[in-house]
Structure 1
Amino acid sequence: MKFSDLSLPAQVLQGIHQAGFNACTPIQAQTLPLSLSGKDVAGQAQTGTGKTAAFLITLFTKLLASPSAAADGSLPRPRALILAPTRELVVQIEKDAQLLGSHCGFNIQAIYGGIDYMKQKNALKDGADIVIGTPGRLIDYLKQKVYSLKHIEMLVIDEADRMFDMGFIPDLRYILRRLPPFDQRQNLMFSATLNQRVMELSYEFMNVPQKVSVTPEKMTAERVEQVLYHVSNKEKFPLLLGLLRREGMARTMLFVNTKREAERLQDRLNANEFPCRVISGDVDQRKRMNILEQFKRGELAILIATDVASRGLHIDGVSHVINYDLPQDAEDYVHRIGRTARAGAEGKAISLADEDGAFYIEAIEEYIRHKVAVEWAEDDLFIHDYKRPKHRPAPVASTKQPRGQRPKAKDQKGAPRKAAAAPPEGEKKKRRPRRKKPGGSVATREENVKTD
């Protein structure tokens, strides 16, 4: 199916043409006829298959078909709300929305934490047609009555399963209960996985949603070559260096499970002339966006990330994904390796299974419904003569001096205090009288108990 076969407004078709799209992907071909007819849709498909474009095209078409709520000259009120679990995904959706909706004339505003608090607040006050945001910052402004959700015509929830994983369900319900009734708005939900918990949420807040699942025999993208190496924890880094030198990885994403391991790996790679940077949940938002832009422009060859970057990010030309640590959640494996082989391209996913990671292999293979090919590294692939990074500066030592080296105490005049005089010979040192416990003797306490 081609986009020109659908009854789309000219402004939307111009944006699609400008984005370079021609034919629909499977998820777009199955959901667009339903959503464009006004039905609620819960869509499931692999990451990188065009879910974002599917709901944006529907959203622009619906808003163009109805007159603006601000036709009387008042400030535009939010007519559409798009919810996403992470800041990076919000930024990505806004970028796609600005491109696909460049000829529609809508005011699109992204709302997310960690950056431009007053700027985003003033932008909402000035009016926005479409709001894209994370639940936390949206609720913050909502409680301040910066904007209202009473005029929302369309709701989109992206990566709904991730909302559950990140504990956003109470916040999500707080927002959804302040929208118009579900039968007075159109609702779309998209995710790579639609489990039972997500479907219960859809039945609670959607109007008889049509479930569309585009899931091939393999949960992972077909053009991703997957390889697994069994290696001890001590040999993971020597093997990683050998793979980086042999594969010639132009643009690589390295995934780890913890921020501490990410920083340690960054120091070791930089020391061995593999420039890289880290993005994790507690990195400043401006810094995270700058790092991602460097990686997208090709100025940075290696990006180390925790699972905060495994969902929703579309970065062209990622040739390799390496699971330096295997994820504990099988779904995260699918999203991690989905960063490569996007939009029909080819890619390679390499996983290193150490003593701990080996326990997760069975669950991953059961989830993706196939075995991951195992390769055994030859001895010459391990690089043992690598450079050790300089140790990070230790915390400032305490200025407190050891007991034997402390200066003697001084009196008010500055002279050293004299030690207490020893008692005369033959005379015992008087001891301080022992303090009695309250309540008297045992006998007295027993009498009190009997009296009571």
Structure 2
Amino acid sequence: MFEQFDLDQALLGAINNIGFKKPTSIQQLVVPEAMTGKDVLASAPTGTGKTAAFLLPAAQHLLDYPRTKPGFPRVLVLTPTRELALQIHEDAEKLTALTKIKSGVITGGVNYGSHKEILTSTTDILVATPGRLMEYIENEQFDAREIEILIIDEADRMLDMGFAESIDRIVGEARWRKQTMLFSATLSGAGVIKFSKEVLTDPVFLESNPSRKEKAKIHQWLHLADSFDHKVNLLLNILRQEDVKRAVVFANKRETVQYLSGKLYAEELPCAWLEGKMPQDKRMNAVDRLKDAKVNIMVATDVAARGLDIDDITHVINFDMPRKADIYLHRIGRTGRAGNKGTAISLVEAHDMPVIAKIERFVDERLPRRVIEELRPKNKEARIPQKKAKVKKSAAQKKAKAKKQAKRSKKK
């Protein structure tokens, strides 16, 4: 139970109001260690309660050591995408609803004037994307010297997106902080480990091993495709299946997202779409339409792979395969959340096979190949042999081998 963490009654009340029953494995690991003030390096899959694991100790610190004068934020959470920043801010407001702790969010893609109140009035917890926050620091509109706790979320993705320099500078600006926590879905890359050594001091390393209920089960398989048009037909067939209640379709390019969303509407499959250069209000509207079930399909580039936090997505479909195996893991993490089962389906052309091999090594399992009979691939490279064909071929080989052996015996 959450009472074991010696949290303030106001935080326990909010936890109860939200409906959390008992801590997840990552919360059980992180909260006690973080509340001692230690630096934390933590690895946990998405959808396992990671956000509350760092917000609860941060909020408890603010309650234990109340602010004595107005000023800039004392807790800073850095995150790679606008969507994820907004989600964390929403969670922070829910968890601190019964306290006087004030939260704010700063991201790119919105009018600079919308951040005026955060920059000029007292805010306790700030959630921000690195680029826009760095602009305010450079313009001397934001002072990082008051930050006591720095939390870097989705560190692996942050580095992939090229934020390393901005984060380094923000870390330097907040050098008087008392505690730093760094969270990453994967610690397989050398970059995250190297980065953690630069920003953390004698950290405790915590790696979550979620329970079966938390981890859920994501069923993964792939369909081999002959061409782009073949993939489109496979996608339409899958999205019309009865068990597909709410789906996210990933594509690599903005142009593909726009084409697919138009195609789905033409086929009477209404959808929302999300890509990097959309204005913030349109992005938020797209996410809200999916959350509110006004549409049940979202077509997106990888901008949504980390920021889309909806518990009941039943299917993730990779229309295009990601270029890196860890991005595949982040994509499929949009389903199978909060103990629910999920399905991840990849549509694969011949040129995608090298990345499939990398993904299979990364997840340590072979992705089953499945066929929709009326859309069976025609190209030899993509065709999945039928069992009968294998048996016939094997029998023919055995017969030929027997004939050769018989001829050799006669010669002798």
Q: Cα–Cα, structure 1 residues 198 and 296, in superposed 2: closer, same or farther, change >3 Å?
A: same
What is the match of residue 341 of structure 1? 336
Q: d(CA) in 1 for partners of 2:322 and 2:175?
A: 39
What is the match of residue 386 of structure 1? none
Residue type of the partner of 1:138? L
**Quick check: 1:121–1:146 contact (8 Å CA) kept in 2?**
no
What is the match of residue 47 of structure 1? 46
What is the match of residue 361 of structure 1? 356
Q: d(CA) in 2 for partners of 1:31 and 1:372?
A: 33
What is the match of residue 204 of structure 1? 198
Q: d(CA) in 2 for partners of 1:113 and 1:380?
A: 43
**Quick check: 2:25–2:209 contact (8 Å CA) kept in 1?**
no
Matches within 5 A, 1:400-415: none
1:223 aligns with 2:225: no
Q: d(CA) in 1 for partners of 2:285 and 2:72?
A: 31
**Quick check: 1:253–1:302 contact (8 Å CA) kept in 2?**
yes
CA displacement at 1:342 relative to structure 2: 0.5
Q: Which runs of 5+ in 1 are unaligned?
A: 383-452
Residue type of the partner of 1:196? A
CA displacement at 1:313 relative to structure 2: 2.5
What is the match of residue 31 of structure 2? 32
Matches within 5 A, 1:321-336: 321-336=316-331
Counterpart among 185, 204, 207 of residue 213 in structure 1:
207
Residue type of the partner of 2:115? Q
Q: For residues 410-445 of structure 1, what are the alpha-carbon distances to aligned partners after superposition, in whole Å with 9 as ceiling and x for unaligned?
A: xxxxxxxxxxxxxxxxxxxxxxxxxxxxxxxxxxxx
Q: For residues 378-424 of structure 1, what are the alpha-carbon distances to aligned partners after superposition, in whole Å with 9 as ceiling and x for unaligned?
A: 01689xxxxxxxxxxxxxxxxxxxxxxxxxxxxxxxxxxxxxxxxxx
Name the structure with the higher helix share: 2
Counterpart among 171, 195, 206 of residue 176 in structure 1:
171
What is the match of residue 188 of structure 1? 181
What is the match of residue 417 of structure 1? none
Matches within 5 A, 1:27-426: 27-70=26-69, 75-181=70-176, 184-194=177-187, 195-215=189-209, 221-233=215-227, 234-379=229-374
Residue type of the partner of 2:199? F
TM-score for the superposition, normalised by structure 1: 0.80
Q: Cα–Cα, structure 1 residues 140 and 121, in superposed 2: closer, same or farther, change >3 Å?
A: farther
Q: Cα–Cα, structure 1 residues 155 and 290, in superposed 2: closer, same or farther, change >3 Å?
A: same
**Quick check: 2:48–2:215 contact (8 Å CA) kept in 1?**
no
CA displacement at 1:78 relative to structure 2: 1.2
Q: d(CA) in 2 for partners of 1:179 and 1:239?
A: 50
Q: For residues 119-151 of structure 1, what are the alpha-carbon distances to aligned partners after superposition, in whole Å with 9 as ceiling and x for unaligned?
A: 203321122111110111111111222231111
Q: Secondary structure at the match of 1:356?
A: helix
CA displacement at 1:199 relative to structure 2: 2.0
Q: For residues 311-351 of structure 1, what are the alpha-carbon distances to aligned partners after superposition, in whole Å with 9 as ceiling and x for unaligned?
A: 14311211111111111110111111111110001111111
Q: Which runs of 5+ in 2 are unaligned?
A: 378-412
Considering only aligned residues, what root-mean-square deviation do their CA atoms show, in Å?
Answer: 1.9
Q: d(CA) in 1 for partners of 2:237 and 2:118?
A: 50
Q: d(CA) in 1 for partners of 2:148 and 2:110?
A: 28
Q: d(CA) in 2 for partners of 1:246 and 1:144?
A: 53
Q: Percent identity?
A: 39
Q: Secondary structure at the match of 2:170?
A: helix
How many residue pairs match? The answer is 374
TM-score for the superposition, normalised by structure 2: 0.87
Larger-Rg structure: 1
**Quick check: 1:239–1:381 contact (8 Å CA) kept in 2?**
no
